[in-house]
């Protein structure tokens, strides 16, 4: 039975990793699946506190990295807090809109385009078009690198979970 739970764990971990592209809390889904697997197989039989804490720390670091990468992108280009908010909201909406057009690639492109538009529009009211565009480009770059960084953290989490939960 543990092998069946392990296969299910791998499937949910992969799903959790993939939904990060949409800006959804996939890393936290991975942790919930991991803890669920721990309870289903008997806590400390295959999974215990040390590996669970490692996953929580990695997920927390990934969230911080993603947030600061997006904020740093627009701030480095001269954006203010409202540009950061616009980039976050625009990135989320863009990711949702881009997904049906071309899954995964469309999601990333949509999220970056949404971050660009959100930041640029929020700064357009009192900054010139050229400056707003620079801020939008900075937000899009930040969103892109934040997404890639979060996916990298998620991949590390995936391998930590798969290796530590192995039912041997």
Residue 159 structural domain? 2-164
Number of domains forming the structure of the chain: 1
Mean pLDDT of the chain: 91
Give the pLDDT confidence of 152-162 residue by residue, as tens digits: 999 999 999 99
Exposed/middle/buried for residue 145 (C-beta within 10 Å: 0-12, 13-18, 19+): middle
What Rg, from alpha-carbon coordinates, does the chain have? 18
Give the pLDDT confidence of 13-47 residue by residue, as tens digits: 999 999 887 777 899 999 999 999 999 998 888 89
Give the pLDDT confidence of 124-151 residue by residue, as tens digits: 888 889 999 999 999 999 989 998 999 9
């Amino acid at each position: 039975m543990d092998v069946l739970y392990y296969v299910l764990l791998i499937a949910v971990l992969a799903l959790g990793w993939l939904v990060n592209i949409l800006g959804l809390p996939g890393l936290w889904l991975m942790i919930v699946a991991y803890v669920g697997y721990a309870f289903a197989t008997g806590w400390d039989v295959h999974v215990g506190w040390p590996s669970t804490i490692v996953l929580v720390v990695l997920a927390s670091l990934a969230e911080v990295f993603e947030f600061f990468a997006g904020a740093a992108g627009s701030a480095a280009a001269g954006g203010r807090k409202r540009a950061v908010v616009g980039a976050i909201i625009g990135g989320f909406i863009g990711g949702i809109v881009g997904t049906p057009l071309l899954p995964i690639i469309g999601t990333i492109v949509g999220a970056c385009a949404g971050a660009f538009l959100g930041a640029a529009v929020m700064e357009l009211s009192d900054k010139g078009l050229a400056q707003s565009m620079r801020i939008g480009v900075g937000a899009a770059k930040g969103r892109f690198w934040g997404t890639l960084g979060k996916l990298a953290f998620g991949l590390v989490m995936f391998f930590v979970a798969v290796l530590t939960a192995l039912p041997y």
